[in-house]
Amino acid sequence: MQGDGEVLFLGGVGEVAVTLGHDGLSFLPLHPELGSSCLSSIGLLPKLENKIKFSDVYAVELLDEGPVCGPWNTRIVVQGKKNSEMHRFAVHVITRSRKHPSQLVPCEYLFGHKDPETCKSLVEHLSACINNEQDRPKNLMVFVHPLCGKGRGCKNWEMVAPLFDRANVNTKVIITKRAGHAYDTLASISDKELKKFDGVVAVGGDGLFNEILNGLLNSRNKTSYPPTPEGFGYFGSTEKCQGYKNDGLNNSTPTSEAVNVMLPVGSNKSDDHEPLLSTGQSVGLDISSLNQVPSVSFPNDWFRLGIIPSGSTDAIVLSTTGERDAVTSALLIIFGRRIALDIAQVVRWKSSPSAEVLPTVRYAASFAGYGFYGEVIRESENYRWMGPARYDFSGTMVFLKHRSYDAKVAFLENENSHSLAASAENVADEVQSLQSRRKRSRKTICQANCSVCKETSTPGQDSEDEIPNSSQM
């Protein structure tokens, strides 16, 4: 478009001159005397801007022929009538909520033109510009937990699924049937199949997200085991233990005698007495799968994990987006927005009469607890029908047991531990000094001959010079 641009009809505004730039679409009302946008005035659209950035557009949709409403607050007739039948297309954008800045709201700009080819050409051009936006996913695997948050999983997905369809994001939706369903699916999926997707989305709570996380990382994460704890009784040879310790997860070469101990799906039985969360998923690391180095490994730059909040607490969403809103999370996923998330690896070396060396690896994205917290989480699984109240109930029941939990903490001492200790003491002294000054400043009223002002006066400066300034406060 050259010069003043193409003249189109914008819903709620009237005739506008539209110009396409390298980063967005600009429009200029040809009849500013008609007043502001009706949609903007009643709150259906944000404050009308004269430019739509491609980075804020998640879809462009060609519509059937129909009416495009003119300004609501004008008596001037545009193009002979207030509502004009014409060929239309919609530009779907996002804006931030006025009341909740962290919440994203989908909005729509409706354009019309008498020529259908003009609308089609604009839609194709805008779609091409949007497709040039990097990091936007094209294919996603979606796991929906139907029972989470009192059945909100399916309802939330039905609400946001049209957003993905409108944005031309292909989704393979899997409704989980049992505990560990998502874990087993991702742990057994081939790398060829996994490469077809740009990421995995969890429509559920923190538990489903962690299940997906473990299913992806348990056989694909490129990291090493921490040092093997001393004093653990292993039924295998010392050489094998040392091999696991030195080589790490990806470089280890387990022998044929290594046995995989996998709990049955849906079983809560365990030979451990520690109050660890039982999830129905396989808790033993499939060490035999390490013979084949996977072509898909983590971390990498292209694969993403997303979550649409539908659980009881949704701690991960609140700590990343700041808004417990399914639409906001769906839009962030569509736009490919990303944020780094700290993941904790928990390795448990356990002994079993039927196995040799079997370290159990878990990954946690939000919380990993032992003792009281672990038992509360495990106990709460029996009361999922209570919703969020199950944590308070389970916490009370576990607390009344007055159970103690044994633990031994060991750490690797840093070679510079003495210098670090000295630095820590200096920092502690500085913090204590700062706190004392703050306490003193709260109790001292600044006035003539203020003791604080006298202490902070520069050398060579007469303290009486501070008196007039202090007395004016």
Any idea which residues carry the catalytic annotation? Answer: 206
Tokens of 20: 């396409």
Nearest-angstrom CA–CA distance, 281 and 438: 53
> Coil, helix or strand for 234?
coil
**407 CA to centre of own chain:** 33
Nearest-angstrom CA–CA distance, 215 and 305: 12
Nearest-angstrom CA–CA distance, 53 and 22: 9
**Does an H or E element contain 245, and which?**
helix 238-251
373, exposed or middle or buried, with CB in 10 Å at 0-12, 13-18, 19+?
middle
260 - beta bridge partners? none
Instruction: Give me the sheet containing 57-69, strands edge to edge.
Output: 51-53, 24-29, 14-20, 6-10, 104-113, 83-96, 57-69
Nearest-angstrom CA–CA distance, 199 and 72: 44
Residue type, 13: V
Q: Are 217 and 299 in contact (CB under 8 A)?
A: no
Nearest-angstrom CA–CA distance, 111 and 63: 10
**How many of the other CB atoms lie within 10 Å of CB of 21?**
12
- For the chain, how long is the longest CA-to-CA vector? 91
Q: What share of the chain is helix, strand, coil (3-state, %, to 5)?
A: 35, 20, 40
Closest Cα to residue 218, out of 358, 357, 348, 345?
345
> Coil, helix or strand for 79?
coil
360 - beta bridge partners? 348
